[in-house]
Structure 1
Amino acid sequence: MREKIIGFYLACINNERGKIHSLFRSLFFILSRFYYLAIKIRWLIYKLGVIPKTRIPCAVISVGNITWGGTGKTPAVIMIAKLLKEMGKRVTVLSRGYGRRKEKDKKNKISIVSNGKRLILSSREAGDEPYLLSKNLPDVSIIVGKNRINNGKYAIERFATEVVVLDDGFQYWSLNRDIDIVTIDCLDPYGNGYLIPRGSLREPVSHLSRADIFLLTRANLVSRDDLHRIISDLERLNPHSTILESVHRPKYLQGSFSGEKKNLDFIKDRRVVAFSSIGNPYSFEKTLEGLGAKIVKIFQFPDHHDYQRNDLREIEAACRTDLEKGEVIAVTTEKDGVRLERIISPEADRVFWEIWILKVELEIVRGKEEWQRKIESYI
């Protein structure tokens, strides 16, 4: 049912024809105007100091976006935290923990996903993104919870934190920050141009004037003309910002059952079943094609999809013969790998002989030196 609702909603905002779609699209547009008004009033309240922003006694770096969906925030947080650790800083990542198991009194609960030495919570308890952060940042403490002001103060007391990285923090206006970094997906920089719920914009595009740094992600997947247009737009909106270009650099493939690592040549010229439940599945599929994979079937699940074994059986049923012969391999993303862990454990009956997870890292390809100077100047 949830998937059908999401599918219908996406069809509406993506301008699919039909009277019902058109009716709901009009309704969503009206609601988006009320949303715009609420955002403007809320921002004015903070701007005028009616509700003061809280400053905590450590540096705060916010990483966020202006649209919902996958813009590369998680790999950006990983990259930033690693840089700060290389600089010798004690770092804590604060995340809201979207999609984690609901708990009573969740609003003020402080949940430690990792203390910088070991993982404490499961992916269900932490949320898939904080759990993924913890696996990639084993020496960084990760805390989830709605009240990130209290969580930041707790991190300072418990871990002597020197720098807080605020995951998905662009709209968290109550906490003062030293640097506001906004990730912009070059494949879909502003969604369809409409605010929620008519579109995917979480704030008006004009609010990008608050950003200190724009981190353009997937810059290699668009033409230079399109990239220059995005840069020109951002320079017009925010002439004092720093604009960086980055790519999602594939590193290797890892078997979800065996843990075996394969270099990227393993996928070249192979027939692939690609499945994912991320904000921008198109970028994942395009990356596979760039590695020389021959995609024969694509399965796209809603973002943050809670995988069940029936999902894997559905994929297997569509490609059973080829999978049995080993002529097709199944590939998914690292974030999906986190959500699949509990249903592809060695104790569970296998649907696939192996599921390969594509490991990628964010890499700045233009503006790297300026980026490091900017970070160092605030820390």
Structure 2
Amino acid sequence: MERLKHVVTQIAITPDCRLSELPLLHRSLLPLLSLASSIYRFSLFLRRRLYFSGLVHQRRLPVPVISVGNLTWGGNGKTPMVEFIARLLDEAGIGPLILTRGYSGGDEAKMLHRHLLQTSARIGVGANRIATAASMFERHGYVNSCDTLSEKLSSPYKSVSGPKDERIGVVILDDGMQHWRVLHDVEIVMLNGLMPWGNNHLLPRGPLRESPSALVRADIVVIHHADLVCVPDTQLRMIESTVHNIDATLPVFHSRMAPSHFFEVKNPHSRLSPRTVQNMVVLCVSAIGFPNAFAQAISKIGPLHVDRLDFSDHHLIQADDIEMITERLGRLKHEFNVEAIVVVTEKDYDRDPVILKQLCCLKVLVLCSSLQIMPLSAWTKENFRMNLKKHLIDSLQEMNKK
């Protein structure tokens, strides 16, 4: 199964003009994948019509809902953006509820919980997000006064007087763009700056979950990994141009993952400088949506050599994989005559920290990073904050009218 996933991923990231370079096995799957994409396109059209015509009922939650989603699978920075927004709301004195599906291993939910432990954020995990939200509202309560939320959003500072409000004020949908059962008040769409549209085909022939025209529903667009784009002036402008051809009024921000530190798998409370891997031989091991960005981020720190082992997104590391990693490390030691170190992402660690400890004789580091808004095209973090607050206040006014 892992082999098949790898083949499909290779096809999905290959432009049509380069399909002839793929192995025969890959090319033999193209007719089947194209047929599956056509079926997916029709089902997407039908589902969209059912929801937006009102034939299938959408639920409005009692507090504003911010959706953070994407057009292509994996590597778009959705979960880091969810954390970023949760911190902005916490700073404004508003308790956010993050609703996440909790994919294989629950890696994203575990990472969010660890990062947001000292904030007012709550995390609800479950495929039925309406039921999960209802359970969290019943347990923690929610702010049912639009005026109270508007006042907090309008204030530039977090209120510190009086008792802390433990109630939920805003819901953040992680991976919410294609989740239409819940009405969205603010739609934030993340684009991968290194591969914004993939090969321009829908799943499974390509990585697109919806066509770029779906950006017409967006309120804010963020181009992620903007710092890793080879020719930023040209490539970023091309992406912005495509976005503005769909909606000329859409604000387009840029973001990056900023490495903060490493910690050792053997000692999760350790904190090592990013410079730890400088002039070292590094093996990047990951099972994430876009491993290229992870490998590039490590390369920018300045190691002697970077090798990589990529597994499919959300893959659970098995004993056979540990053997493969150990074998690769042995080859690197033979080639460079030094011990190589393994570096994984936080998602990989949180998915199964125990299995990684099987590499007990080796040094295994976990890279910790946080999302930052890059001040490009005069769109800064403060601009993002104000834009988000404006959309939330507008949605509260609409809710008040009803």
Whether TM exceeds 0.5 here: the answer is yes
1:296, distance to aligned residue in structure 2 (A): 4.3
Number of aligned residues: 349
The CA deviation string for residues 70-112 of structure 1, in whole angstroms up to 9 with x for no partner, is 211111111111111111111111011122xxxxxxxxxxxxx
What are the Cα deviations for residues 40-90 of structure 1, in whole angstroms up to 9, with x where unaligned? 122122222222321111011110101112211111111111111111111
Superposition pairs of residues 1-379 of structure 1, within 5 angstroms: 2-13=1-12, 14=14, 15=19, 17-99=22-104, 124=105, 127-138=106-117, 139=119, 140-160=121-141, 161-222=168-229, 223=231, 224-259=233-268, 260-320=270-330, 327-345=339-357, 350-366=359-375, 367=379, 368-377=381-390, 378=392
Q: Deviations over 1:193-235 (max 9, x none)?
A: 0001111111121111101111111101112210111011111
- Name the Cα RMSD after superposition: 1.9
308-317 or 135-144, which deviates more: 308-317
Q: 1:189–1:261: structure 2 CA closer, same or farther, 3 Å change rule?
A: same
Instruction: Give the counterpart letter for 1:227 in structure 2.
Output: L
Secondary structure, aligned partner of 2:180: coil
Corresponding residue for residue 109 of structure 1? none
Report if aligned partners of 2:223, 2:255 keep a CA contact under 8 Å in 1. Answer: yes
Corresponding letter in the other structure for 2:60: R
Deviation at 1:275, TM superposition (A): 1.2
Mapped partners of 2:223, 2:331: distance in 1: 41
What percent of counterpart residues are identical?
33
The alignment partner of 2:261 has SS state of strand
How far is 1:9 from its partner?
2.2
- 1:34–1:322 CA distance, 2 compared to 1 (3 A): closer
Deviation at 1:332, TM superposition (A): 1.3
Distance 1:26 1:202 in 2: 19
Specify whether residues 323 and 343 from structure 1 end up closer, same or farther in structure 2 by C-alpha distance, changes over 3 A only.
farther
Q: Which moved more, 1:314-323 or 1:72-81?
A: 314-323
Letter matched to residue 344 of structure 2:
T
The separation in 1 between residues aligned to 2:23 and 2:355, in whole angstroms, is: 39
Offset, 1:190:
0.9
CA contact (8 A) 2:264 2:365 kept: yes
| C-alpha contact 1:323 1:329 (8 A) present in aligned 2 | no
Q: What's the TM-score, normalizing by structure 1?
A: 0.87
Residues of 2 paired with 1:50 and 1:321: CA distance?
59
User: Structure 2: any 5+ residue segments left out of the alignment?
Assistant: 142-167, 394-402
Give, as a single letter, the amino acid of the residue that structure 1 aligns with 2:84.
Answer: M
Q: Is the 8 A contact 2:287 2:314 kept in 1?
A: yes
Aligned with 2:316: secondary structure? coil
The answer as to whether partners of 1:81 and 1:91 remain within 8 angstroms in 2 is: yes
**Equivalent residues of 2:199, 2:206 under 8 A apart:** yes
Alpha carbons 1:64, 1:73 under 8 Å: kept: yes
For the residue of structure 1 that corresponds to 2:199, the secondary structure is coil
* Contact 1:61/1:177 (<8 A) preserved: yes
For residue 268 of structure 1, report the CA deviation from its aligned partner: 1.5
Aligned to 1:115: none
Question: Which amino acid in 2 is paired with 1:338?
Answer: D
**2: CA distance, partners of 1:357 / 1:218:** 19
Residues 206 and 328 (structure 1 numbering): CA distance in 2 closer, same or farther, change over 3 Å?
same
Displacement after TM superposition at 1:360 (Å): 0.7
- How far the C-alpha of 1:301 sits from its partner, in A, is 1.1
Q: CA deviation at 1:284?
A: 0.7
CA distance in 2 between counterparts of 1:17 and 1:344 reads 33
Compared CA separation, residues 232 and 295, structure 1 to 2 (3 A): same
Answer yes or no: is the 8 Å Cα contact 2:66–2:172 preserved in 1: yes
Whole-Å separation in 1 of the counterparts to 2:332 and 2:239: 42
Aligned equivalents of 2:26, 2:342: Cα separation in 1:
34
- Structure 2 length as normaliser, TM-score? 0.82
Amino acid at match of 2:185: D
Tell whether the 8 Å contact from 1:313 to 1:351 is kept in structure 2 after alignment. Answer: no
Q: Secondary structure at the match of 1:58?
A: coil
> Distance between the aligned counterparts of 1:344 and 1:328, measured in 2?
15
Q: Does the aligned pair in 2 maintain the 1:73–1:167 contact within 8 Å?
A: yes
Deviations 1:273-331 (A, max 9, x none): 11111111111111111111133421111111101233223212222386698632211
2:262 aligns to what SS in structure 1? strand
CA distance in 1, matches of 2:306, 2:374: 31
